[in-house]
Structure 1
């Protein structure tokens, strides 16, 4: 059952990733579905210790959103993913997300130089891509360890 849930979580993360690239928006209904699936994995392996860390991620994300650094959907996605990651992997989640996000932003900047830079700048970087990649990998790692 856990394997099926993990596959569904990965499929949902992949869908969120593509929707963020396509429309630059993460719908709440997808996040609710992902939250439900992540919490179902708690049946076999409760993860109550992660809740204070999730609250800290939400608080930091709120301030990053207030200063237009990170989108609200990206913050909510990171919070939902943090519910499925063991607390000892949360720092790794943040570091991998930051590194992948920086590399992705650099690639997007280079892409903007070769195409329409103003359009690329106006649309912004879809940070759900690095969040989903790192989050999916660490959710999987949390459940096999």
Structure 2
């Protein structure tokens, strides 16, 4: 149990860093994605299930297509793929739906603030989707324990 608590603690700290970096720069650092990926592989080693490796491959494949159509950023896809290493497949669809809903809510809030203030800064930089990915993925990781 202590090792799972350690994994969740480190992933949460890494996610907080990723969220603040995404909000500030609209970019998710490859270094933080790499750290989360290492934690994910360690988590797979602890759990002993190789089936966890299928989810990131699917996410990267679908994400590449969405990236080519300029629907989502490459950093968001890498981030979600790294986080999915720690999410059981049975929760992956639910986590994806949570991420999509939270991202939509973020976009709606940013657009509403733009309409209220007239300040284009709220919409010109896009939505920091790392926030939604972080919250949804942490939910999935906690459900997978």
Q: CA deviation at 1:66?
A: 1.1
Q: Which of 40-49 and 83-92 deviates more?
A: 40-49
- Distance in 2, Cα, partners of 1:49 & 1:105: 33
For these two proteins, the number of residue pairs brought into alignment is 143
Where do 5+ consecutive residues of structure 1 fail to align? none
Q: Which residue of 1 aligns with 2:94?
A: 92
Where do 5+ consecutive residues of structure 2 fail to align? none
Q: Which residue of 2 aligns with 1:16?
A: 18
When normalised by structure 1's length, the TM-score is 0.92
Rate the CA distance shift 1:95–1:75 in 2: closer, same or farther, 3 A: same
The structure 2 residue matched to 1:127, chosen from 126, 129, 133, is 129
Q: Which residue of 2 aligns with 1:70?
A: 72
Given the alignment of the two structures, is residue 45 of structure 1 paired with residue 47 of structure 2, yes or no? yes
1:25/1:73 contact within 8 Å kept = yes
When normalised by structure 2's length, the TM-score is 0.92
Query: Could you list the runs of 4 or more consecutive aligned residues of structure 1 that deviate by over 3 angstroms after TM superposition?
Result: none
Deviation sequence 1:1-27 (CA, Å, 0-9, x none): 221121110111111011100110011
- Distance in 2, Cα, partners of 1:56 & 1:35: 15
CA RMSD of aligned residues (A): 1.3
Deviation sequence 1:62-103 (CA, Å, 0-9, x none): 111111110000000110111110011111111111111111
What is the DSSP-based 3-state SS (H/G/I as helix, E as strand, rest coil) of the residue aligned with 2:70?
A: coil
Q: Which residue of 1 aligns with 2:108?
A: 106
Q: Which residue of 1 aligns with 2:62?
A: 60
